[in-house]
Amino acid sequence: MTTIPESHRDLLDAQVATLATIGGDGYPQQSVLWFLAEDDVVKVSLNSARQKVKNLERNPSCSLLILDPANPNRYLEIRGDAEIAADPSYVFANRVGAKYGVDLRSMDQAGETRVVVTLRPRRVRTWG
């Protein structure tokens, strides 16, 4: 596993990141989302009905981009393969919600579920 350089580790505290997945048509799909970072692992809570989850189930290759809010010419890109795990009790979703002051259950429709997507860096690119 690749590590994130100290020079850009502060970006793991950013409020949002952009996740790029590969759609069924072979083109990238990008979504801005909330995330949590622990060491060199980034995790997101996603509603399992969303297209990005379907994309990751079909092709786990993805990229997460975090822009520096104070300097958009500085960024951290993490490329890797997503690992998807069920979160039926909202244990991880509650942790994400706590960071953002939101109950993620309020964003889901009846019968929908949540998954935890873990991205372990295989390649890290930085700029700025």
A 10 A CB-CB count for 19 gives 24
Give the tens place of pLDDT for each residue, 86-122.
999 999 999 999 999 999 999 999 999 999 999 999 9
b/e per residue, 54-74, with b = 16+ CB within 10 A?
Answer: ebbeeebebbbbbbbeeeeeb
Backbone angles phi, psi at 4, to 5 degrees: -90, 125
The Cα–Cα gap between 1 and 18 comes to 21
User: Is 15 a residue whose pLDDT tops 90?
Assistant: yes
Which pTM was predicted? 0.94
What confidence score (pLDDT) does residue 120 get? 92
Query: Is residue 118 within 8 Å of 98, Cβ to Cβ?
Result: no
- Sheet of strand 41-47: strand arrangement: 28-33, 17-22, 61-68, 71-86, 114-127, 41-47, 36-38
Give the tens place of pLDDT for each residue, 29-86.
999 999 999 888 999 999 999 999 999 999 999 999 999 999 989 999 999 999 999 9
Backbone angles phi, psi at 12, to 5 degrees: -70, -10
What confidence score (pLDDT) does residue 13 get? 95
What are the boundaries of each domain within the chain?
A: 6-121
The CATH number corresponding to 6-121 among 1.25.40.80, 2.60.120.620, 3.30.200.20, 2.30.110.10 equals: 2.30.110.10
Burial grade of 44 (CB within 10 A; 0-12, 13-18, 19 or more): buried
What confidence score (pLDDT) does residue 40 get? 85
